[in-house]
Structure 1
Amino acid sequence: MTTAQDLRIGDAAAVLGIEAHVLRHWESVGLLRPPRTPSGHRVYDSNTLDYARLIRTLQRSGLSLEQIRELGMSPCDTRTLLIEAKRREIQAHMALLEATDGFLAHLTTCSHPVVADCPECSGFTRRNDPPYLDGPRRH
C-alpha cells in the first residue's frame, strides 16, 4: 500500500538530486529494494529515500558500490573491520590534503624561484612515501 508521501522513481531521483537510472542501478546491484505497487511500479518511501541518501553520501566519500554492499551484508565483526580500514584510508587522505593545503599556502608567499632553493618546498616535494600517502603513487 502506498501513501501520499511515497514517490515514484523520477520524483525520488529529483528529490535526491540524481538521475533515475542511478536508482535503478543501485537496485540492480542489490543496494536498494524499493517496495512496489501491485502493478509493479517502484515506490520510494521515507526509509528507502534515507537509505538512498546514505548510499549517495558513502559513494561521494569514496566508497565503491561493492564496499557499500559489503558493509550492508557483512556480519558485525567484519563490518567493524571494514569500517576501521576505510576510516584509516580517509584519515590518510585527509592528512595528504592538509599537507598539500599547507604547501599551497606557502607557495603564495614563497619568493624562491626554484623549488629546490626553498627548504619548505623541497621538503614537501622530496618526501619519499610519506605516511599519509596510501596506495600507489600517481604521476
Structure 2
Amino acid sequence: MSIGDIAARFGLATHVLRHWEAMGLLAPARIGGDRRRYGTEDLYRVAAILRAKEAGFGLDDVREMITASDPAERRAVLVRQRAELARRIAEAQVSLELIDCALDCEHEDLAGCPHFQAILAERISPAPPPHVRV
C-alpha cells in the first residue's frame, strides 16, 4: 500500500506518517527509489500508535513502547505506561462522578450542594496554620 492508501485508511494526512517515520515509529519498505510501501505489519503499527495517542501518550512514549526489542525492557516500559494510564483513568472517573452529581443536583447553587461538596472535599487542601508573629 502507498502512503496515500494508509493515510486515507486511518484518516491521517500523509505528513503525519512521514513524521512518524522520521521519529522511528514506522519503517515502510522502499521501492522504485524512494517510494514507500506499507505492509500488514505497518497497518498494525499505525493502529497501535493511534490507540496509544488516544490513551494520552506522547509520541516519544509510543516509540519507547513499540521499539523496545528486549522483552524485559518492553515489559518495564509497558508497566510504567500502564500505571500512568491507570492514574489518568482514575482521575477521569472522579471527574465523571462530579459531572453526574452536578447533573442530578436540584440545588439552586451547585457549590452549596452537600453531595457536590463531599465529592470535591478531597481537592481542598487543609488551611495552612495561621502565621504566628512574635
- Which of these two proteins has the greater Rg computed from alpha carbons? 2
- Any stretches of 5+ residues in structure 2 without a counterpart? 125-134
Q: State the partner residue of 1:57.
A: 51
Q: How many equivalent pairs are there?
A: 123
Matches of 1:36 and 1:112, distance apart in 2? 64
- Which one has the bigger strand percentage? 2
Name the TM-score, length of structure 1 as normaliser. Answer: 0.77
Verify the 8 A CA contact 2:25 2:67 in the aligned structure 1: no
Q: 1:30-49, aligned counterparts within 5 Å?
A: 30-49=24-43
SS in 2 for 1:42: strand
- Any stretches of 5+ residues in structure 1 without a counterpart? 1-6, 130-139
SS in 2 for 1:68: helix
Pick from 6, 21, 25 the counterpart of residue 19 of structure 2: 25
Name the TM-score, length of structure 2 as normaliser. Answer: 0.80
Q: CA deviation at 1:126?
A: 2.4
Q: State the partner residue of 2:132.
A: none
Q: Which moved more, 1:23-32 or 1:60-69?
A: 60-69
SS in 2 for 1:32: coil
Structure 2 residue identity aligned to 1:94: I
- Which one has the bigger helix percentage? 2
1 or 2 for the larger relative contact order (CA 8 Å, sep ≥6)? Answer: 1
Please, what is the CA RMSD of the aligned residues? 1.9
